[in-house]
Amino acid sequence: MLGFAAIRGALEERWRIVLLPFDAAARARAAASGPPAPRSTFRWQPVVAQAAALWAASRVALLAYTFFALHLSVPAVQVRFGPPFPDALYAAWQHWDANWYFSIARLGYWNPQSTAFFPLFPLLIQAVALPLGPGQLPLAAWLAGNLGTLLAFAGLALLAAQEDTPGAAPWALRALVVYPLAFFLAAPYTEGLFLGLAAFALFFARRGAWRWAALCAFLAALTRLTALILILPLLWELARRYVARVDGRWRWMGGARELGSAALLLAAVPAGFALYAAYLGARFGDPLIFLAVEQVYWHHQSMPLWQSLPTAIGNLFAAPPWSHEQARMFVDYVPLALFAGLTFATLRRVPMAFSLYMLGLLFLSTASPIPGNGDIYLSAGRYLLAAAPIFLLAGRWMRRAPWLDLLLTTGGVAIQAVLAAQFISGNWII
């Protein structure tokens, strides 16, 4: 028994060290001393410059990967009959959802099915295309996707530096880059743009910069429906500063300015949705048509987790062992299981805003499965690219444990290369 107690104590101590400065006791001491003030001495410029340099290096590496993948793998036939170089380098990433965003940027919302794709990213494509000239919309789409990834790098790096130290920033980015589905950050998808806006919203809210946090949340709502997950974390950050229990009752301790900030935060995400819905109402006569098309065209159905989870597990074990079907399910189910486990294991040890954010992301990733598909949580692994708090934790662990860094880096990059080759060749991944 003594040996077991000693082992347990050692493990708890290691866990506490790894999660610092997210430790609950540290947060309790900080709360007892009053709402934390914004860190005026925080130097963001070096962190952003380092994030931009790492982003540039990763883009060069991906271009080199694309060049060799096009010439030396199955998609080589696309080079012979497709666009000439260097156009083929960015055309290779124009598949699936990227084609929808490209078409919306070129034609506008031309049919109900296109309304499932929110407007900010197509607008960004159009903005990037302006200085490039006519006929360069495909290049603009690829650049827009990677500029969104630059925003993601900067936002995640600043969040890591603020929550830990500036030295934590490159490790959080490393954890993001080696995630097996991070190749979507090189495609004309919204993954990079949404992650960047969400990370900046959390960053500003943790600093008490409410108007900036509200602006990022508003733009995130114009990017993806997933912006719903920002509402509770932002309001929690406001409440922990300006709501206190006095004489047995909860009271608002801020003034009129802070009350205005609360209203702004509360309205930011709904305002983004309302703006898009107003446009759709004028264009198609139905402001909520973007919700209906998910069910009609992509067969998503609202289903509680206690019903969908047994179905997912049953489908996994019903598929032939080590088959293509199981491999496809693993791409979604393994990240879901790992990220859910980490979220629940750290509920009391990370900032509550991060836990609320992750719980919301996990809920939305599983709330509307496709019952008729073997992988009913289709694309959940890609949606989890928005899991900024998990990448912060993973980066911290990788920094402290070289063996874990080696495992995640080599394994993640190897799997990512296989999946990216499939995507470049035009095969459906998730």
pLDDT tens across 48-60, in order?
A: 999 999 999 999 9
Q: 32 pLDDT exceeds 50?
A: no
What pLDDT does residue 206 have? 95
pLDDT at 27: 45
Phi-psi region of 133 (alpha: psi -120 to 50; beta: other; left: phi over 0): left
For the chain, the average pLDDT equals: 88
Q: What is the pLDDT of residues 92-105, one digit of tens each?
A: 999 999 999 999 99
CB-side exposure of 352: number of CA atoms within 13 Å?
12
Phi-psi category of 248—alpha, beta or left, where left has phi over 0 and alpha has psi -120 to 50? left
Q: Which of 170, 152, 283 is nearest to 216 (CA)?
A: 152
The tens digit of pLDDT for each residue in 285-310 reads 999 999 999 999 989 999 999 999 99
Q: How confident is the model at residue 78 (pLDDT cuts 50, 70, 90)?
A: low
Q: Which long-range contacts (CB under 8 A, 24 or more apart) does 312-320 make?
A: 312/369, 312/376, 312/377, 315/374, 315/375, 315/376, 319/374
Residue corresponding to tokens 């446009």? 279
pLDDT tens digits along 363-406: 999 999 999 889 999 999 999 999 999 999 999 999 999 999 99
Question: Rounded mean pLDDT of 261-269?
Answer: 92
Domain boundaries, the chain: 44-192, 208-287
Mean pLDDT (whole number) for 196-209: 96
227: pLDDT strictly greater than 50: yes
Confidence tier at 130 by pLDDT (50, 70, 90): very high
Cα dihedral sign, 355-160-186-137? positive
- Other Cβ atoms closer than 10 A to 118: 24
Average pLDDT of the residues in 191-200? 98
Looking at residue 4, its pLDDT comes to 40
Q: For residue 72, give Cα distances in angstroms to 55, 61, 330.
A: 25, 16, 27
pTM over 0.85: yes
The Cα–Cα gap between 228 and 336 comes to 19
Six token digits for residue 204: 């500003």
Specify whether the CB–CB gap between 380 and 331 falls below 8 A: no
pLDDT band at 74 (very low <50, low <70, confident <90, very high): low
For residue 83, what pLDDT is reported? 66
- Write down how long the chain is: 430
Q: Residue 33's pLDDT is what?
A: 35
pLDDT of residue 208: 92
What is the predicted pLDDT for the residue at 372? 87
Per-residue pLDDT, averaged over 100-112, amounts to 95
The structure tokens 């690829």 sit at: 142
Count how many Cα atoms sit within 13 Å of the Cα of residue 419 in the half-sphere of its side chain. 24
Tokens of 418: 């296989």
Q: Which helix (H) or strand (E) holds 92?
A: none
Residues 196, 179: Cα–Cα separation, whole Å? 16
Question: Which range, 16-20, 27-31, 360-364, is most confident?
Answer: 360-364
Find the mean pLDDT for residues 182-190: 97
